[in-house]
Amino acid sequence: MKKLLLSFLAAVTLLQVKADEGMWIPSLIGKNYDEMVRMGLKLSKDDLYSINHSSLKDAVVQFGGGCTAEMISANGLLITNHHCGYGAIAGLSTIEHNYLDNGFWAYSKEQELPAKDMTVIFLERVEDVTAQINAATRRYKGDKQAKKLEEVIKKIEEKAAENKKYVANVKEYFNGNQYLLLVYKKYTDIRLVGNPPKSIGKFGGDTDNWMWPRHTADFSMFRVYAGKDNEPAEYATDNVPYKPKKYLPINIKGPKEGDYTMIFGYPGRTNRYEVSYGVEVAIKDVNPSIVKIRGKRLDIMKAHMDKDKAVYLKLTSMYASIANYWKYFIGQTEQLKRLHVVDQKMDNEAAFTKWAYKNAPEYKGLMRDFSKIYNGYNTYAKHAVYYSECFKAPALAKLGASTEKLYEELDKENPNQDTIKKHVDAIKSARKSIMKTFDKGTETELTAEMLKLFYQDIPKSQHPSVYERVIFKKFGGDDMDKTFRNYAAYLMDNNMFLDSNKFNAFCAHPTLEKMDEDPVVVYALSFVYNYTTYYEPKVDAFAKRKKELAKEYVRGLMEMNKNKLFYPDANSTMRITYGKVLGYSPQDAVHYDYFTTLDGYVAKIKPGDDEFDSPKELVDLYKKKDYGMYVDADGTLHTDFITNNDITGGNSGSPIINGNGEWIGIAFDGNWEAMSGDIAFDKNYKRTICTDARFILFLIEKLGKAHNLIEEMEIRK
């Protein structure tokens, strides 16, 4: 009886929409509006999203493809996280002008530094194209349907792009049950305006990452430039600051517990509708593999970065992003277990099947179908992870693997010259980007260690032939480490990719013979063909079937809960989440306050430490309590705070907005106790970690002395 009742309750609570849970689609936010108002929103629906006049959506951009940023002045001034600007800041830094270590402040527009390759996109409008897509694909099945789908999407996107005036994407929502067209304007002249020293912008480093309490000032500032007509334009010295349709005024009253907060941003990916079988594979195979491989990779990189500052600057951004998701998967696994997510999901699935038997027989075998596909998948899930995370980690593997398509074309009876050219261009551009983070010492060690790890952890029957036919035959000895080291050193010195003359000669006249003679091509393609011949087809078939089942599952859940408002999984499109400022209890008898202070920051400082040191100037300001107008009523300077908004990776840099539409801080992280949040939202634990607007402005004014920037913003109290 108890069990039955429990699973019934679980089914009811499964997707019960609570204010704090949900990443809502901006164009459909009207459905949540009444609740938002009840919680403290003072704006109109049209102030949130409108295509006819300016609204909050116009102030928020996707930054660099994977982060969020927002407009905070009438002149295109943009703020995002420090960890989002990190690559650009490191790229602009040299040993002589080390903006990463020392910070950077532009005191005039002339001093701003063009951030190459940076882009931002502004959302113009969203349109539901589900009916159009269904009409075009309904009559087909299987592969034919997939092809039709691709065609109709391409057609819709091309039309909406109006001859490259816009960037247009059709995206799937609710696991393929709905399609929306998103139309953007893309700006590419982006310039660095300011950032605190790394010791402040990344204070606490990887030790504090994904954790509360936190004291990081995770922000950096850029400016969007446009042509004289305010339209996108390639970098040019006479471009002018972009005039946004909307920018956010800043409120420095300071958040109080219970205050309404909302976040607009670009969450990347969640899997909230994942089934119990998927969670089991994650816990058992996928996550521990990623953690092990990345841990090894990070150790190797760190040893080389610590020895040489130039290597440090070259690798630090890549290091930070590998470390970020290394720790993420440690936390996710821990919390999936602690919160018994597999059991929760199993209860929900049992309730779903029970409902299906009674009310919707077409779904009654769905869970059994899931279980079947996962049974097959278990035997090669690990290989798939090792292929992408381990084999492909070293630069040589990526360089070699980039020739796959060209190899295939040249192997044909009548290779097509245009196709060859296309593949050669792709290899050139892959090489260009891989070489940006190439350091020979690091890469030699990495190649050897990744070869060894793959060899040891993947069943022998699944190994590519290069191990027996080349490595052990020609480099083998009793000492395995030495074998892989010697082979890696040999690869390093014998290939066409690291020798520009040889590489250019190859690109001018690519032949199969040259490829067969290149040791790096031989090594990489042995892994590639082993994977693409035996494992990739299985992985693809699994993914395809899983997608079909997941679509049915979500549709079934919506039928089962007709009166409930559903939100779709994150998919790198703009979403709104609303909730409030709120502390939490991480474990029995422990309570976490909703904010931290500079007192706590200074108490954490460890002079000379890689993660916990900070400039003397900050400590001096602290000693003098020189907080200016940013001081809290309690006499301290607040640094970070938390809310119960529902965000994930990609939301980094999102604005925290109060009920009046004012900016009160910037979101930058999630908390340890809710690291399973991308798979299952937990109301008790899930929090968003933000840097307080007052801490940011204090650093700009008192540490950076960039009064020009403070004056540019609209600050309210």
Closer residue to ligand ARG, CB minimum distance, 213 or 556: 213
In the complex, least distance from residue 358 CB atom to ligand ARG, rounded to whole angstroms: 43
Q: Is 652 a catalytic residue?
A: yes
Closer residue to ligand ARG, CB minimum distance, 89 or 515: 89
**Among candidate residues 159, 100, 103, the one with its CA nearest the CA of residue 129:** 159
- 3-class DSSP state of 374: helix
Q: Is 218 a catalytic residue?
A: yes
**Among candidate residues 165, 163, 181, 184, the one with its CA nearest the CA of residue 65:** 184
* Catalytic entry in 58, 73, 83, 654: 83
Examine residue 480 and tell whether it contacts ligand ARG (CB under 6 A): no
- 3-class DSSP state of 668: strand
State which of residues 209, 251, 596, 639 lies at the interface with ligand ARG (CB under 6 A).
209
Give the type of residue at 117: D
Phi first, then psi: give them for residue 323, nearest 5 degrees: -65, -40
Stretch that binds ligand ARG, among 201-209, 250-258, 389-397, 463-471 (CB under 6 A): 201-209
* Catalytic entry in 276, 652, 654, 676: 652
Examine residue 613 and tell whether it contacts ligand ARG (CB under 6 A): no
Examine residue 198 and tell whether it contacts ligand ARG (CB under 6 A): no
In the complex, least distance from residue 379 CB atom to ligand ARG, rounded to whole angstroms: 32
The pairing of strands 167-173 and 638-643 is unpaired
DSSP string, 71-137: E-STT-EEEE-HHHHHHHHHHH--SSS-HHHH-EE-SSGGG-EE-TT--EEEEEEEEE-HHHHHHHH
Examine residue 669 and tell whether it contacts ligand ARG (CB under 6 A): yes
Strands (E), 619-703: 638-643, 655-657, 663-670, 688-692
Stretch that binds ligand ARG, among 206-214, 343-351, 543-551, 602-610 (CB under 6 A): 206-214
Examine residue 324 and tell whether it contacts ligand ARG (CB under 6 A): yes
Examine residue 673 and tell whether it contacts ligand ARG (CB under 6 A): no
In the complex, least distance from residue 23 CB atom to ligand ARG, rounded to whole angstroms: 15
Examine residue 320 and tell whether it contacts ligand ARG (CB under 6 A): yes
- 3-class DSSP state of 1: coil
- b/e 221-232 (16+ beta carbons within 10 angstroms → b): bbbbbbbeeeeb
Q: Residue 3's CB: how many other CB atoms inside 10 A?
A: 9
Range 44-103, binding ligand ARG (CB under 6 A): 83
Distance CA 290, CA 269 (A): 18
Closer residue to ligand ARG, CB minimum distance, 202 or 292: 202
The count of C-alpha atoms lying within 13 angstroms of the C-alpha of 554, restricted to the half-sphere facing its C-beta, is 21
Examine residue 210 and tell whether it contacts ligand ARG (CB under 6 A): yes
Closer residue to ligand ARG, CB minimum distance, 266 or 374: 266
Stretch that binds ligand ARG, among 123-131, 200-208, 404-412, 625-633 (CB under 6 A): 200-208
Closer residue to ligand ARG, CB minimum distance, 40 or 66: 66
Eight-state DSSP code of residue 14: T
State which of residues 66, 114, 205, 615 lies at the interface with ligand ARG (CB under 6 A).
205
**Is the CB of residue 675 less than 8 Å from the CB of residue 89?**
no
Examine residue 202 and tell whether it contacts ligand ARG (CB under 6 A): yes
Closer residue to ligand ARG, CB minimum distance, 254 or 670: 670
Closer residue to ligand ARG, CB minimum distance, 195 or 652: 652
In the complex, least distance from residue 610 CB atom to ligand ARG, rounded to whole angstroms: 11
Omega of the bond prior to 213 within 30 degrees of 0, cis? yes
In the complex, least distance from residue 83 CB atom to ligand ARG, rounded to whole angstroms: 4
In the complex, least distance from residue 611 CB atom to ligand ARG, rounded to whole angstroms: 8
* Catalytic entry in 208, 218, 285, 569: 218
- 3-class DSSP state of 3: helix
Closer residue to ligand ARG, CB minimum distance, 519 or 670: 670
Angle at 142 between CA 126 and CA 359, to 5 degrees: 75
Closer residue to ligand ARG, CB minimum distance, 323 or 470: 323
Rg of the chain on CA atoms, in Å: 27
The count of C-alpha atoms lying within 13 angstroms of the C-alpha of 497, restricted to the half-sphere facing its C-beta, is 29
> Residue count at the site for ligand ARG (CB under 6 A)?
13
**Tokens read off for 594:** 């909703």
Give the type of residue at 498: L
Q: Is 425 a catalytic residue?
A: no
Examine residue 227 and tell whether it contacts ligand ARG (CB under 6 A): no
462 membership: H or E segment, kind and range: none
Stretch that binds ligand ARG, among 147-155, 204-212, 622-630, 656-664 (CB under 6 A): 204-212
Distance CA 582, CA 314 (A): 39
Closer residue to ligand ARG, CB minimum distance, 63 or 242: 63
Range 642-661, binding ligand ARG (CB under 6 A): 649, 652
CA torsion through residues 712, 26, 279, 456, sign: negative
4 Cβ neighbours under 8 A, 6+ residues apart: none
Examine residue 240 and tell whether it contacts ligand ARG (CB under 6 A): no
Tell me which residues touch ligand ARG (CB under 6 A).
Answer: 83, 202, 205-206, 209-210, 320, 323-324, 649, 652, 668-669
- Show which residues are catalytic: 83, 218, 652
